[in-house]
Amino acid sequence: MLEAVLFFFIVVAGTAGELSVSRAMKGVGEVHDFRLKSILRFVLQSFRLPWMWVGIALMSVAFFSLLAILSFRQVSFVVPVSALSYAAGAFGAKLFLGERISRNRWIGIAVVCLGVTIVWWTRA
């Protein structure tokens, strides 16, 4: 039960957090310059965006859930299973960011989910 709750936080809070960060990043705009100074400025700039902080809060919940679950499960089990967020991510990106998900992308995401299911069977 605890394990299911922790996976729920990892998948749902983690995905919602990444979507929030993604939304913030589209507000910063495309980065063209990869010098260290520019990257630092880019990081500071992104911390001024409210969506960035929403994302950080949600991802923190996911992070501590990950730590808890890693204390009693194998890394090579936990990380693949947390890829359940692929389906959540595609739906979220479509609804929340207005991204268009092509048919080929849906197929890829479905195959990824199949892989996750197989890994789940190896739960020892």
Partner 1 sequence: MTRTRRLQLKTMPLILISIVLGPLGNVFLGKGMKGVGSVTSARIIDFLPIASRVLTSGYIWLGIVCLMGFFVAHMLLLTWADYSYVQPATSLSYVSIAILSYVVLGEMISPLRWLGVTVICVGVLLVGRTSPSTSEAP
Tokens of 55: 């994302």
Q: Does 30 bind partner 1 (CB under 8 A)?
A: yes
Residues with Cβ within 8 Å of residue 57, at least 6 apart in sequence: 17
Q: Does 60 bind partner 1 (CB under 8 A)?
A: no
Instruction: Among 4, 35, 37, 114, indicate the residue that binds partner 1 (CB under 8 A).
Output: 114
Q: Which is nearest to 124 in space by CA: 42, 3, 22, 10?
A: 3
Shortest distance in whole angstroms from residue 110 CB to partner 1: 7
| Number of residues engaging partner 1 in binding (CB under 8 A) | 60
Place of tokens 């197989």: 118
Q: Which contacts (CB < 8 Å, 24+ apart) does range 29-33 have? A: none
Q: Does 44 bind partner 1 (CB under 8 A)?
A: no
Assess contact for 58 and 13: CB atoms under 8 A: yes
- Binding interface with partner 1 (CB under 8 A): 2, 18-19, 21-22, 25-26, 28-31, 34, 39, 42-43, 46, 66-68, 70-72, 74-80, 83, 85-86, 89-90, 93-94, 97-102, 104-105, 107-122
